Chain A
Amino acid sequence: MHPRTDLALLAESLAHLSKTPYFNRAIEKHAYALIDVIKHALTSSPPYDDEILRSFADKVWTCHRYLQGSTTKEAPYEIEYCMRHAISDWLTDPCLVTTALTDKKDFHLKPGDPWDFVAKTMDRYTGQLPQEKLIFIGVPRIYKHMPLFCAALYHELGHFVDLARNVTDVTFLTHPVHGVSDGVQEVLQNHRREHFADLFAACYVGSAIVDSIHAINPHADHSNTHPATATRIEVIRSFLAGEDFDELSMYQGALQKLGLPRLEQRYAVPAIETAFDDIRPYTVADTPELHGMMAAGWSYLGKVKSGDGPQWAADANQLDVVRIVNDLTEKSIRNASIRSLWNEVPQ
């Protein structure tokens, strides 16, 4: 309740976490740095203003949640692995991805960097701050072994890149909208953000993002925060069909100004049918195929649903089919990660 008490309690809990067996070294560094800054914040003289401590405590609370999540050893490693590959296309800074399982239908991927705040606001702290940026991923607990249902995280990564590099803000400089109220400006901004995140996701997972959006809310109408589902899907379909349209040119222009990569296909849909029909994982050849597992998996599920699936799925109930296709996708991704780790070390 009180920032000083909260910070003291959080420091205790972080110290406890860091003693957990198998605590990840990279995460441990952030935990120790947080403990050190908290110690400084609570003992510094003259004392920091309570409002600064309150904001800092909020940031530590959030960090604590994700550091704890990554320590429970239940995190969906395979999805993290895909996200790490996508993040490296857009951010050159070293990043540390941490994941918390959520108990509601909530996917998110957001920056959680407390270190900017410490550097700017707690300027009397002289210790060394970690260099890696913290990225927080939230995945619904019931989907922890359902990687195909986590395709929406690519959309969240699109938001992350947008906010980190102000892509949408730049579009308002190159393509301003005049003569509308602040409220309408805000709605337009929200919609541009959603379309950008959709297009970003389509670069990695192709039509799987259409399937995801459709599965989440097929008939959603236009709202202040989101364009209508039908509009979103239409924009994505145009992009996937290789069409040139004004909105796409607007984003490409903004990305170019920011020195960021273009929106373009970054996946290759692997031919998983032979393996999945035989209930075996697919051998992923490269990074484009890694991302392409999402599109391939969704397409495979669609084929089974339409009655065009393999013999083993014919008599199975829908949940069994969904589980097996997700399991085979998870194992295909994990095997790719294992092979990569194995081959990185010389024999």
Chain B
Amino acid sequence: MIRNEILERLSRTDGLRLGIEPLLDEKQIGEMTVDLRLGYDFLVSIVTRRPYIGVARDDERFRPISTYFQPTRRELGERFILYPDQVVLTTTLEYIALPSDCYADVLTRSSYTRLGISVSTMVQPGFRGCFSIELFNHGNNPIELVVGAKMFQMRLTKLSDGLSYGGLDRKYFGNVRPTPSRAADDEDLQKLKSISERQRHQVPSEAGNADDG
């Protein structure tokens, strides 16, 4: 989508409306992208006594993924230090309502990519919420970020046919603050565990026969 189309979508009131709230400065809307700002809530990864983050709930040593992160808040204009090799979850300052016929690519603005922060994610049509951002500092030096700074850009792509998309069954819907990974909620993990256990309890000859079959 180009600037004129984005402006037209912002002024609509139907399901094809694009919502960006707050849009502090119209100059955020560029010729092909919309600049988005760094949000104020953060989940900072912390090192715990567990040697790794497990996603299998049936492991007796499993602990919720949220316990590997510490929440912290900032106000507009305050600073946040992003250390090398640290995962920090945050969001865009803006709450975004995507039209049902558009998806968005969210990318770091080049000024920040050059500092070693790279974000690249795709957001589905019909999304409602602040975009979830996973910050990672690939460089050697800590980087001081400013809450509200234009760090990201959104590129909108229109689908050829409108899709109806939305609902609470999706994992990250209507979020206004960063959410820890829900990898442990993946229903496939239970099935994969069953497969693994069946294979472990199979005697070698049975396994061989099965392979032969």
Contacts and interface: CB of A to CB of B under 8 A. Distances in A.
Q: Do A and B come from one complex?
A: yes
Interface of A: 21-22, 73-75, 77, 145, 278-281, 283, 312, 315-316, 320, 324, 327-328, 330-331, 334-335, 337-339, 341-342
Contacts of A22: 74, 78-79
Nearest to B17: A278
Contact of B95 (A21, A320, A335): A335
B177 interface: yes
Name the prevailing secondary structure of the B interface residues: loop
A16 B76 CA distance: 25
B204 interface: no
Nearest to B22: A335
B76 A279 contact: no
B95 A77 contact: no
B71 interface: yes
Contact of A280 (B24, B74, B97): B97
B21 A335 contact: yes
Given A312-B168, A320-B168, A338-B24, A77 B75 contact: yes
Nearest to B71: A74
30 contacts: A21-B81, A22-B79, A74-B71, A74-B72, A74-B73, A75-B73, A77-B75, A278-B97, A280-B21, A280-B97, A280-B128, A281-B21, A281-B95, A281-B176, A283-B21, A283-B22, A312-B166, A312-B167, A320-B168, A324-B174, A327-B176, A328-B174, A330-B176, A331-B21, A331-B95, A335-B21, A335-B95, A338-B22, A341-B77, A342-B22
B175 interface: yes
B19 interface: yes
A73 B75 CA distance: 10
B73 A280 contact: no
Interface size range of chain B in the complex: 20 to 34
Interface string B129-156: 1100000000000000000100000000
B38 interface: no
B93 interface: yes
Point out which of B22, B79, B97, B130 has the most chain A C-beta atoms below 10 A from its C-beta: B22
Given A73-B72, A331-B95, A342-B76, 6 more contacts: A22-B78, A74-B71, A77-B75, A279-B174, A281-B176, A315-B167
Given A22-B74, A312-B166, A316-B168, A327 B175 contact: yes
A338 B174 contact: no
B176 A331 contact: yes
